[in-house]
Amino acid sequence: MRALHTRLDRPVLIDDPWGERLITTHERETLRGIDDAEDLDTALRAHPSYGTVILRARYAEDVLAEAVAREVRQYVIVGAGMDSFALRRPAFAAELEIIEIDHPATQQFKLRRLADCGIAPPPGLRFVPADLSEIPLDAALTGSSFRADRQAVFAWLGVTSYLTRNANLATLRAIASCAAPGSELVFTYLDQRIFETGPEISAMQEARAALASAGEPWVSGFHPDRLGDDLRSTGLELVANLGPEELHARYCADRTDGLAPSPSSYVARARVTA
């Protein structure tokens, strides 16, 4: 989706062509296989999560750029998956230490795919393999290059909806406990109400059903109006809580290509308190 946005949408919010290098022709055919006559680009752009995939990446990079201007030099990507930030490293991030945390099997898959493409991991990128269902994030970072005495920015995008509320709160506490005061976190979440009364939001319910049938169900969200209290209980303070309307106003108000945030999807910014 990020590569598709880079290629087709104007103006471009993120410059990320890597998806089309890292996904094989066979995998593209598999994605298209649901309907052989359907154009994959059209299908991806019509997916209810498309807009938020783009907007959350842009917002995280905006927050990161602000932090770099304050001399922050650590960027931790939690549940990194096939994130390509370190590969396309914008100019402002030239001096960043980038740490990717993910399940060992996922990281090995990514490293194999990079090798298959003839790509060496770039300088300044560190991999921390960890199953965060078994080891807390702060413990996973122990022994890595992460400096707990220096501020960092954490990105946790597209993950919380697949975890239980308790698991999400545990990760938030872990970030607050291991990061220096003033460190920031950008994370995404779904409005908890779609798990309670959501059938009226048809597009999101269809996406939820499709993910469940694929074995990766959405499990939980947060209540937007209670998020500040949830964060305070973990040692974080809420800085920004951007829902669809706020994201649209910030990034999409003058667009004519139809790019828009997904319903019930939020991007939040939090800060580690002293």
pLDDT band at 194; cut points 50, 70, 90: confident
- Read off the pLDDT of each residue in 191-200 and give the average, rounded to a whole number: 73
pLDDT band at 174; cut points 50, 70, 90: very high
In this structure, which amino acid lies at residue 196?
E
pLDDT band at 191; cut points 50, 70, 90: very high
- Read off the pLDDT of each residue in 155-182 and give the average, rounded to a whole number: 96
pLDDT band at 31; cut points 50, 70, 90: confident
Residues 6 or more apart whose CB falls under 8 angstroms from that of 196 comprise none
Average pLDDT of the chain, as a whole number: 92
- Read off the pLDDT of each residue in 161-189 and give the average, rounded to a whole number: 97
pLDDT band at 37; cut points 50, 70, 90: very low
What percent of the chain stands above pLDDT 70?
Answer: 90
Q: What's the rounded Cα separation, in Å, for the pair 22 and 116?
A: 9
CATH architecture observed for domain 2-272: 3-Layer(aba) Sandwich (3.40)
Give the tokens for residue 55.
Answer: 């907007």
pLDDT of residue 211: 57
Give the tokens for residue 258.
Answer: 């139809």
Residues 6 or more apart whose CB falls under 8 angstroms from that of 53 comprise 1, 2, 158
Span 216-254, pLDDT tens digits: 788 999 999 999 999 999 999 999 999 999 999 999 999
Task: Domain ranges for the chain, please list them.
Answer: 2-272
- Read off the pLDDT of each residue in 34-45 and give the average, rounded to a whole number: 73
- Read off the pLDDT of each residue in 163-176 and give the average, rounded to a whole number: 96
pLDDT of residue 232: 98
pLDDT of residue 34: 54
Q: Comparing 47 with 13, which gets the higher pLDDT?
A: 13
Q: Comparing 93 with 193, which gets the higher pLDDT?
A: 93
Q: Comparing 1 with 210, which gets the higher pLDDT?
A: 1
- Read off the pLDDT of each residue in 260-266 and give the average, rounded to a whole number: 94
Angle at 186 between CA 158 and CA 86, to 5 degrees: 75
Res 9 pLDDT > 90: yes
Give the tokens for residue 230.
Answer: 């949830």
